[in-house]
Chain A
């Protein structure tokens, strides 16, 4: 049960109408519940608003703000761990034609269907966001360089295979172009440079005729398991059963 309120803020004094309306519009309960203290209620409102601020209203994907926050986190990880993280920028081909020919509602519908399809193509750890207009972005942590192109290709084919019904009689086919780049491993760089490199590849895919994927392959800088094995072979010998080697053993080894 909620303790008696001793706070300085009284709920009725706050103007929460706009916040409530926003949450209600998003299908969330916007009024205080019976068992909720004012603090709990406010926390819930704030949490829901934060969630809302990161979401693209049309597609339900993360928005650009969400994307940038995720990308910042990833580039930090890559610099320190050397993990391979792939960024894909995806753009619907000839989207303007769809809008012009079939109207904006049809265009919005295509965006929603493709967004849903993209979200279904990736793992839960990946981030799919609407970058703006008809452009999407996907961040794929822990994605080996060997698989990058195959993965982008699979996404491209899946989208190309979609049939988007816009009326009982008419379905549309849409294709996407994809550009990708890996974060420079072990190098602390900026998200702007990373996006720029992926964008350059997207541009390449577009100018090569669209409906294709281009990836900026990273320089081979990762440290393989084989390399690590050799690197730490001395540790395996030195530290084997540290608890068994009493002081006598250490002296023996030094003398040996």
Chain B
């Protein structure tokens, strides 16, 4: 029953490669596609790197997160080669513009879009080797919720839910939160409202989401799910400009409104989940 929704920890295969205590692993997810997960992952990584953290971003939807397009990087060696044993992990890690590292999946990974025990074990092995070497690992996930995405999110210590103020995006974010609460017993989910059109609206939206959850989602635990508003990112023409110029926004125009918002997000994370860099 419900094969795809079975929590990975209940699978006997998962026990073979136990995950070591995690450093800070942040999963960036959304439900609805195209709301800015990859934009947030890459630019938040740059903002954190600028503040002295050692950061790696991973295409955690195994080729469907379109991280390669946003970073304009098309490497020869990818996670696909690591999974198939053709390359070592360190050979697939690249420096990204913006001062962080990146691990791309490569197009061949699409065949891995089904979560088999092989994919699960490889994924765990890769995460186990990465986590001790970085202050922060950011998992960029793709559109929709797949069993691969759910598994990746289950490995994260923090979930960053990206949504826009649009009704479709909010409905998807809400549905995703319900899946996560039901399946992974998360107690805190951090909300980022991207493409916010008016200042302050993100806090109100998060509050609204929380009210609906409190009313309709019974967690069955003593602690109910808590949404924490991490910050807003305004709509900013510089974001599209940077993509057109094939640059990372955080590098090209860090002082623009979206850039300042991302710097603030990085600070908020330092206050809540990431220790300040020495």
Do A and B interact with each other, yes or no?
yes
Interface of A with B (CB < 8 Å)?
79-80, 82, 184-190, 192-193, 196-197, 200, 216, 218-219, 221-224, 226-228, 230-235, 238
- Chain A residue nearest to B217 (CB atoms) is A227
- Given A80-B32, A193-B4, CB of A227 within 8 Å of CB of B212: yes
> Which of the residues B3, B146, B147, B215 comes within 8 Å of A197, measured between beta carbons?
B3
Is there contact, CB below 8 Å, between B171 and A184?
no
B278 at the interface (CB under 8 A from A): no
Q: What are the residues of chain A within 8 A of B194 when measuring CB–CB? A: none
List 18 interface pairs A-B (beta carbons < 8 Å), by A numbering.
A79-B146, A80-B32, A82-B171, A184-B2, A184-B5, A185-B175, A186-B31, A187-B145, A187-B150, A188-B144, A188-B147, A193-B114, A216-B1, A219-B5, A227-B216, A231-B167, A232-B170, A234-B204
Q: Looking at the complex, which one of B4, B176, B208 makes contact with A189 (CB distance below 8 Å)? A: B4
Tell me which of A187, A218, A232, A238 contacts B144 (CB under 8 A). A187
**Residues 202 to 227 of chain B near chain A (Cβ within 8 Å):** 204-205, 208-209, 211-212, 215-216
Q: Please give me the residue from chain A that is nearest to B183 by CB atom.
A: A219
Residue contact B175 to A221, C-beta cutoff 8 Å: yes
B172 within 8 A of A: yes
Question: Apart from A190-B113, A221-B178, A238-B201, what are 13 other A-B pairs with CB-CB below 8 Å?
Answer: A80-B144, A186-B144, A187-B4, A188-B113, A188-B143, A189-B147, A221-B179, A223-B174, A224-B216, A230-B212, A231-B209, A232-B167, A232-B170
Q: Is there contact, CB below 8 Å, between B212 and A231?
A: yes
Interface size on B, residues (CB 8 A): 37
Residues of B within 8 A of A186 (CB): 31, 144-145, 172, 175-176, 179
Closest to B166 in A: A235
B113-172 CB contacts (< 8 Å) to partner A: 113-114, 142-147, 149-150, 167, 170-172
Between B31, B33, B178, the greatest number of chain A beta carbons within 10 A of the residue's beta carbon is seen for B178
Tell whether B36 is near chain A: CB-to-CB under 8 Å: no
Q: Is the CB of B167 within 8 A of A235?
A: yes
Contact B179 A193, beta carbon cutoff 8 Å: no
Partner of A187, one of B33, B179, B209, B212: B179
Nearest 8 A/B pairs, CB to CB: A188-B146, A79-B144, A188-B144, A189-B4, A186-B175, A230-B212, A187-B145, A184-B4
Question: A184-B5, A219-B5 known; A228 and B144 CB under 8 Å?
Answer: no
Q: How far is the CB of B90 from chain A (nearest CB, A)?
A: 30
User: B182 in the interface, Cβ–Cβ < 8 Å?
Assistant: yes
